[in-house]
A and B are shown apart, each in its own frame.
Chain A
Amino acid sequence: MAKNPPIVADAPRPAPAKKMSTAERLLWLVGIVAFLIGSYGLYQRFTNGLRLTDLGSFVPWGLWVATYEYFVWLEVGSLLVFTVLVYLVKWNSVLAGMARTLYLTAIAILSMALILIGLDLGHPFRFWHVFVWPQWGSLMTWMIWLHMVYLIVLVAKLALEMVRETPTTKRITAWLSYLSLPLGIALIVVAGSVFGVVIGRPAWQGSALPLYFLISALIAGTGLLTFQFVWFWPGERTEEYLAVARKLGQLLIALLIFGLIASALGGLVILYPGVPAQAIAFELTLFGPFWWVYWVIYVGFGVFVPLLLLLTRSKAARRIGVAAGLLILTYIAVPLNIVIPPQLSIEVVEKSLVAAYHGPGMKTFYFPTISEWLVTVFAIAFGFLVFMVGYHILWLRPRINHSAQKEG
């Protein structure tokens, strides 16, 4: 087995400042304002149930489910890539210093994911039923349980990062990291399989989605890891720092291209025979009223612009950081297109059925309501504030590997 990464030291914590920096103050302000605005959505959710959403009986999953999937990709994907690079291939010891901040970010994102999926339930306060009456034949049960185990491992890893580093804590952290690899892969694949096993939605069914979830998690996760490394690295911008940033950028290029090919192949294989039950979902994605989500947000700002930035010959790591940031912001288009259009195909498949009866919640169209956006803002603001508390108050910042810095 490969050796553990070297012990790294804390970044020096400055003496408590009397005043926060303007940037920090602005970030707190943005977080708190977003939290307050989003709280109104939360109030609406609890006073009106799901009535203020655009969800219905024909399109029962929407923005919150798609965002949940995306947050799982980010959270698990970033740690998967980090663990492989640091613990398995021993890629670079400088990167190991990012552990604390990355674990903190993963916990913040996980809190966003759990808030959204919890509020998506018709009865959010019955979430514990899954633990008391689990039905092990359901992949959703596995997904929820795996997510809980993953949360425990993550919290344990962060707790170990917060105590003084000893050979024992290092060894436990390493083993927990090894454990998180199969756990993380299982979580992502099971999350994809939740969709893949559904025969009610032909565009979801099959083994492609679980694999595509894994690829997407690696892309989104590498984006997050790269973004954090470029912008949060507290040490000097040495050659070694630049080398790591560039290598992460190269990894991102490869994954982005691979993801685009996988997406195109998946679409073409279904579009070629053109069986309406499956093809309609892809046709809607590519040419429907929200074509711009795929072409502009995903292909344009999520793949091509980041690729242009990454492929430009420049020594500045900033470009890599911007490309990664853009990717994180825009990649949400992918789960949105996976979750929503396949449900809209019911209008074609069951045309006479959906026309047979009318009432609220019996639409075959979906666009998130203001209430849904507000709840999403609340969840994101909550996670952001969790991160701010950890980063600025608990000082969960990257650790600098002094030896690596000197070597650099």
Chain B
Amino acid sequence: MSNVLEELAISVLAAAPAEGDVLIRMKAELERALQKPEEQRRWVMVIDLRKCVGCHACTVACVAENKLPPGVVYRQVAEEEIGTYPNVSMRFIPRPCLHCDKPPCVDVCPVSATYKRPDGIVAMDYERCIGCRYCMNACPYASRYFDFGFSNYDETPEAEGLIVGKPQGSLSETLPSFEYGKVWLRKREQSPIGNVRKCHFCLHRIEVGELPACTVTCIGRATYFGDANDPESLVAHLISRPNVMRLREELGTQPRVYYLV
């Protein structure tokens, strides 16, 4: 047990050298990447599975950042139990959209509402999406979710004066989401309700020089984000290691989310 902790500590120190918290370094690299034209950036995410403790902070941060309704999640953390008692271990695998370089979801969209940006992010045009859900069936990673328009307060009683009552509690759902740099208010049957939704690497944050919400909230600093086209970037170093893998590589979809194992 102590050996494992030692190894983990070494790996944390390796990723966070003299300059301090990796977040500071990644933010500086992000700002450097933003100086380049969009097509010269190659955003990638690296997730160190050895550091993920399954706290789900990233999931919650993502829900809060993007004001996600019930039934929509961009970054859940899958939990796998390996082995049988007494030789049991847990593995946590954060599962955002993998932003494939050959995305099967993009090819099937009948109206080009989902598309690959020059910087590699697979984005959605909510106002063009017709809600056919073909992309959801096409995605081999189940990374897309349909916004049915559910509310957290659907079953909440109309109790006056109580913070948990529907009138007060549901005020939180009137806050807009800023996905794709636009203001999205939850109004009846208006986008993004009726649309397919997915992780976009917090594009609205990236464009103002901020790291994705999941990256900055990760308590174990297990999530890294940056421009892989920058040879000096942390992510470029990490994905050049031999212990890197991507999900279902045999499909040839070339995901941009790498896992360190």
Contacts and interface: CB of A to CB of B under 8 A. Distances in A.
Contacts of B70: 359-360
A53 B131 CA distance: 14
Contacts of B77: 356
Q: What is the interface of chain A mostly: helix, strand, loop, or mixed?
A: loop
Interface stretch (B42-50, B159-167, B188-196, B220-228): B188-196
B194 A123 contact: yes
A198 B110 contact: no
Contact size range, B: 35 or more
Contacts, number: 146
Interface string B128-169: 111111101111101011111110001000000000000000
B148 A50 contact: yes
Nearest to A50: B148
B149 A51 contact: yes
A255 B185 CA distance: 54
B127 to A, nearest CB: 9
A51 B137 contact: no
A24 B191 CA distance: 46
Interface in B40-82: 59, 70-73, 76-80
Nearest to B192: A122
Interface in A177-194: 194
Contacts of B93: 352
Given A56-B71, A353-B95, A355-B79, A138 B142 contact: no
Interface string A58-85: 1011000000000000000000000000
A114 interface: no
A391 to B, nearest CB: 33
B97 to A, nearest CB: 13
A200 B104 contact: yes
B229 to A, nearest CB: 27
B138 A49 contact: no
Contacts of B12: none
A305 to B, nearest CB: 34
A31 B48 CA distance: 62
B13 interface: no
A342 to B, nearest CB: 9
A195 to B, nearest CB: 8
B244 interface: no
A107 to B, nearest CB: 24
Contacts of B9: none
Interface of B: 59, 70-73, 76-80, 93, 95, 104, 107-113, 128-134, 136-140, 142, 144-150, 154, 189, 191, 193-196, 251
Given A198-B138, A361-B148, 18 more contacts: A121-B130, A122-B194, A127-B130, A130-B130, A135-B110, A135-B112, A137-B107, A138-B134, A194-B134, A199-B138, A200-B142, A356-B77, A356-B78, A359-B70, A359-B73, A359-B150, A360-B148, A362-B145
